Structure 1
Amino acid sequence: MRERPEPVRVFILDDHEVVRRGVRDLLEAEPDIVVAGEAASAREALARVPAARPDVALLDVRLGESGGGDHAGVEVCRELRARMPELACLMLTSFDDDEALFDAIMAGAAGYALKRIDGSDLVAAVRAVAGGQSTLDPRATARVLARLRAPRPAEPEAPSPSPELERLSPRELQILELIGEGLTNRQIAERLFLAEKTIKNRVSSILAKLGVGRRVQAAILAQRLLEQQGPGRA
């Protein structure tokens, strides 16, 4: 994790005041973390976060009807990341929901945790995402990928080529498939007999062409796009 000369600034979105207060007290007890602001609804968060200039947005996935509704926190993450690409979003939820996890990953979330997480682990997660790390649970992410790999009913007509895949070179398509299988850069390099640095550069190019910021997003997108091409893809 890179050194941070300034305290980590955190913004809290949760529709329950007691939860917000508890999380705020927990975080402000740490000498290297300050709470820069908080909100009870998606609308409030979108209005307040830019002015608060946080490093981390701690977002409740499910807000009450007055707060925006189910998965409103994910939409806040998506919108904030579009406005502030450097912002790290850490999602909190009371439910172990694969659909919400998938949506959070594709919205650009850096982390996803259940509200039963220990206080010390939540503090560690905030520090990790502020330092550019991902705290997405590999086991939960693997469940989402496994679900995407599950066989689906045959389509009546062959789908048209994906415009996202058409942006990639044949070698990049090959690497994307291996990312979708969950291989690391080193494993891909060994499989293709290339230098690990070369694979790292190719992966960066793939992420840019697909318009995603994180490798796990590319892995999930790979499953969907390559699946659409069917067995006859080049």
Structure 2
Amino acid sequence: MDDAPIGVMLVDDFEVVRRGIATVVAADARLRVVGESASVAETARRLPAIRPDVLVVDLQLPDGTGIDVMRAARAVDPDMRMLVLTSFDDDPAVHESRAAGAAGLVLKSARAADIVGAILAVHRGESIWPEDRVADGPELSASDQRIVELIGDGHSNREIAEEVGIAEKTVKNRVTVILQALGLQRRTQVAAMVAARRRAGWKP
């Protein structure tokens, strides 16, 4: 049924953390916890029977890593949606998680609403990655980086066109390309990304 709650399986070796996330998930009528696990081996054993809609997994486990869990999940169901819930969003964690097939990464310190939102977004087929990390990739040219900064300053496409010296239609096209390159859906997310980078002391 289309209105059935989204089944979520949680993988974390710290019971207090796992139970906390389970409480957050259970509090939303759109979601339900269908399984919990504390290790790679236990998860691999239980996955074929549980087959969750979304697998939420920590990266650090006692007998391996979340990467191992996600590879096991891919063997069970290549289309399983997976979200990494971790304490660290450093570059290796992001890159390894993406390579393993995760659709996103969210910090354990995130608000309950943000964790629920990330699970729902991943289930919809969207990607959720730390905004101040994904923009560091090589896809953006210097001119596109400038457009990103101007979006962060709150400028409209027309204002950006005047500032950069290109047609407004060209700006619109470049914004579409930039969103795709960054894995984002809306320019407001670009503005939020820029704000986060500036708070961290990043300069273009």
User: If the TM-score is normalised by the length of the shorter chain, which range does it land in?
Assistant: 0.5 to 0.7
Q: Deviations for 1:161-219, whole angstroms, at most 9, x for unmatched residues?
A: xxxxxxxxxxxxxxxxxxx4488xx98xx68xxxx9xx9xxxxxxxxxxxxxxx96xxx
Distance 2:93 2:2 in 1: 31
Q: Which runs of 5+ in 1 are unaligned?
A: 150-179, 200-214, 217-234
**Percent sequence identity over matched residues?**
39
1:68 to 63, 67, 71: 63
Normalization by structure 2: what TM-score? 0.66
- How far did residue 36 of structure 1 move? 0.6
2:131 & 2:71 partners in 1: Cα distance?
A: 21
Q: Equivalent residue of 1:12, what SS?
A: strand
Q: Post-superposition shift, 1:107?
A: 0.8
Please provide the CA RMSD for this pair.
Answer: 2.9
How far apart, in 2, do the equivalents of 1:91 and 1:131 lie? 16
Contact (CA 8 Å) 2:89, 2:130: kept in 1 or not? Answer: no
AA aligned to 1:58 is V
Determine if contact 2:104/2:127 at 8 Å carries over to the other structure.
yes
Check 1:4–1:117 CA distance in 2 against 1; reply closer, same or farther (3 A cut).
farther
Aligned to 2:22: 24
Offset at residue 35 of structure 1 (A): 0.5
Partner of 1:152: none
1:71-86 to 2 correspondence within 5 Å? Answer: 72-86=65-79
Structure 2 gaps of 5+ residues are: 145-168, 184-204
List structure 1 runs of 4+ shifted beyond 6 angstroms.
none
1:87 maps to which of 80, 85, 94: 80
Partner of 2:10: 12
Question: Partner of 1:96: helix, strand, or coil?
Answer: coil
Correspondence for 2:165: none
Q: Does 1:131 align with 2:124?
A: yes
Which residue in the other structure is 2:96 paired with?
A: 103
Counterpart Cα distance in 1 of 2:93 and 2:130? 13
TM-score, normalised on structure 1? Answer: 0.58
Paired residue for 1:43?
41
C-alpha displacement of 1:32? 1.4
Q: What is the rounded CA distance, in whole Å, between the counterparts of 1:52 and 1:29 in structure 2?
A: 21
Q: Which amino acid aligns with 1:107?
A: A
Which residue is 2:114 aligned to?
121
Query: How many Å apart are 1:76 and its aligned residue?
Result: 1.2
CA distance in 2, matches of 1:122, 1:8: 14
